[in-house]
Amino acid sequence: MPEPSRPAETPPSVRQWLGLLAVALGVALIVVDITIVNVILAPIIEDLSIGSSEAQWIQESYAITFAALLLVTGRLSDLYGARRIFLLGLVVFGATSMLAALAPSGGLLILARFAQGVGGAMILPTSLALLNATFSGRARGQAFAIWGSTIGAAAAVGPLLGGRLADFSWRWAFGINIPLVALIVAGGLLYLDVSPRTRGRIDGVGAVLSAAGLGLLAYALIEGRTHGWLMTTKPLEAGGFTWSGGPSPVLVAFLASALALGAFWRRQAVLGRSGGEPLMDVGLFRIRSFRNGNFVTLMVGLGEFGIIAVLPLWLQFALGYSAFQAGLALVALAAGSFAASGASFPMSATVSALTQVRIGLVLEAAGLAMLALIASTDSVWWPIAIALFVYGVGVGFATAQVTNIVLVDVPPRSVGQGSGIQSAARELGSALGIALLTTLFFSTLASGMADRLTRDGVAREEAEQLGDVVTESAGSVIGAFAEDPRTATAAEAAREAMAVGVQVSGYVCAGLLVLALAATLFMSPKARTGSRAEEKQGGRQGVGGPAR
């Protein structure tokens, strides 16, 4: 019996594409704010006269709050409408950016960064929900391609923008968000349709457990290298209290996170079975594309963003690039990401989302392996740019289309929750990747430098002390070492060790992405990009139906 003909697909309107532009710019803002602070931290320290502990919290507070609230904001998106939460998140982000730009002290800047994370957590999952609801068929894959390319490009552009704005004032790095937020809010009001809402309420206990569990996990992943994974290696000062000696606060955070997330999962499962209103419907994980897609998302995040945390250090302190020049080198990554977005438009008609993910992972791994091969103390810019371009093309394919796969079979009533879970997987993968890569990079830097100096006749104790100084400064003292004849040998040893650190980091990241590629073998080769689960089931069957 022949299959009934399906109605011709209606192409998206200009208004829908303009709505996508507003969503993509909103996502770009929150991603840039993750990477831009790395470049402007030095002038912040000098201007506000703060110590290393406060400087560290300025970097990390945003990411911790961001990760902690993703599940809560995903549920809010279902209850109150994705557009409303997206626009409210932009307003929060703009207001807190103003607070950060005007902050007269390190403490107030840290508070503003915590609050910025709230706005970011409202924007990311709702952006996914908006795209999922607005586009279908071939256009849906194209929309996610633009969304994913925006993330890759924004992560690369952040250091470039920060380096340029720091020439004027670090405050502009936050102040520039305010007019951009106003523009995006106007675009959202004009071009985004009012989102549907579902009946229900927020599980308050679940919200607290999820925020605590995800926040503690993000904290532990970020702070592990600094304070030690098991035992305290560096005192932690907070609120006049000093934690020194004994079990690391990172270990305590990991254990507390495991308890909170375990209690959260159990509570959500009980609520789901009893007909309650869980914050996260664990039945979503019975959908094969959702379950396996989130695992791949975690692995992709782990392999993709760790290298961006260490690459600017090598460019600036080993190769002698300025902050702006280092950011400019990363533009090749952004160009590759946007090139992938353009290529995905004609490909989406004939190449499935799963195949595009696999193509992206292969290119990412190849670009990182190429970068590792060419890393040295005298690397020139153009092979670096080529490697980053190839890597960026891979990011553009993999990051966008893995999201397409994760959400393709999620029913409309749960798309906010699904987006929040997928965003949490991405953020935790990124945090884990950064924790792994920075630990590996700085361990390689310290040990490699000490070994080189010892071979050159420097006493082992002195060599290790010099290695610790370079590591603690993240390499920023190499220039000063090079200018002093007494430490010139140490500077050269540090440059060599830093190049080896990039080599090791590149190969490890490439290996992780190959592992993510292997994980895609457990996903259905017939992953649909042109249909939705609700179309197949007439929109009637809930998530608790048979696994697909």
Q: Would you state the pLDDT for residue 64?
A: 81
The SS3 assignment for 247 reads strand
Q: Would you state the pLDDT for residue 545?
A: 38
The one-letter code for the residue type at 516 is A
Distance, in Å, from the CA atom of 173 to the CA atom of 163, rounded to the nearest integer, reads 9
Q: Would you state the pLDDT for residue 495?
A: 93
Q: Would you state the pLDDT for residue 4?
A: 45
Q: Are 289 and 405 in contact (CB under 8 A)?
A: yes
Q: Would you state the pLDDT for residue 242?
A: 58
Q: Tokens in use for 177?
A: 């968000």
Q: Would you state the pLDDT for residue 234?
A: 62
Q: Tokens in use for 8?
A: 């011709």
Radius of gyration of the chain (CA): 23
Q: pLDDT tens for residues 219-249?
A: 887 777 667 777 776 666 555 555 566 778 8
- Burial of residue 53 (CB within 10 Å: 0-12, 13-18, 19+) is middle
CA 529 to chain centre: 24
The SS3 assignment for 58 reads helix
According to DSSP, the residues that pair with 231 across neighbouring strands are 247
Q: pLDDT tens for residues 379-434?
A: 888 899 999 999 989 888 887 788 878 888 888 777 878 888 888 888 778 777 77
The one-letter code for the residue type at 542 is G
Q: Would you state the pLDDT for residue 389?
A: 92
CA 467 to chain centre: 30
Distance, in Å, from the CA atom of 409 to the CA atom of 401, rounded to the nearest integer, reads 14
Q: Would you state the pLDDT for residue 237?
A: 58
The one-letter code for the residue type at 523 is M
Q: Would you state the pLDDT for residue 71?
A: 83
Q: Could you tell me if residue 239 is left (phi over 0), alpha (psi between -120 and 50 degrees) or otherwise beta?
A: left
Q: Are 312 and 521 in contact (CB under 8 A)?
A: no
- The interaxial angle of helices 415-455 and 381-407, nearest 10 deg, is 150
Helix (H) or strand (E) holding 238: strand 236-238
Q: Are 263 and 270 in contact (CB under 8 A)?
A: no
Q: Would you state the pLDDT for residue 191?
A: 92
Residue 125 — φ and ψ, nearest 5°?
-65, -30
The SS3 assignment for 237 reads strand
- Burial of residue 375 (CB within 10 Å: 0-12, 13-18, 19+) is buried
Ranges in the chain, pLDDT < 50? 1-7, 526-548
Q: Tokens in use for 493?
A: 């040893």
Residue ranges of domains in the chain, CATH in brackets: 14-202+279-454+495-530 (1.20.1250.20), 203-278 (no CATH)
Termini Cα distance of the chain? 24
Closest by CA position to 137, among listed 330, 230, 6: 6
Q: Would you state the pLDDT for residue 7?
A: 47
- Residues composing the chain: 548
Q: Would you state the pLDDT for residue 51?
A: 64
